[in-house]
Amino acid sequence: MNVPAAWYLVLAAILFGIGAFGLLTRRSALIMFMCIELMLNAVNLTFVTFSRTLSDIDGQAIVFFVMVVAAAEVTVGLGIVVAVFRRRPSSSVDELSELKG
């Protein structure tokens, strides 16, 4: 059973749209990080789809590096969120603007 590449691209567009909508509407830092990860995975799906369609390995290599950067982003981001949680009861992004020195 061979699934057309257009279906993967439509799925990636839907996932990216859900991530962008969540990023623009939610105010919790944790939810925003999850939405960014969803958007990155949608882009990764697009890279892999084009890599498979063009029979080229470059797209899959790019996905590997995007996943490494995403893992580093999650590590740093969650460290910041945990540090904020220790000082404040919520992780609302609106309240984090008060931390300006």
The 3-state secondary structure of the chain, one letter per residue: CCCCHHHHHHHHHHHHHHHHHHHHHCCEHHHHHHHHHHHHHHHHHHHHHHHHHHCCCHHHHHHHHHHHHHHHHHHHHHHHHHHHHHHCCCCEHHHHHHHCC
Overall pTM > 0.75: yes
What number is the average pLDDT over the span 28-36? 87
Residue range 42-87, pLDDT digits in tens? 999 999 999 999 999 998 999 999 999 989 988 998 888 788 778 7
Q: Sketch the domain layout of the chain as residue ranges.
A: 27-89
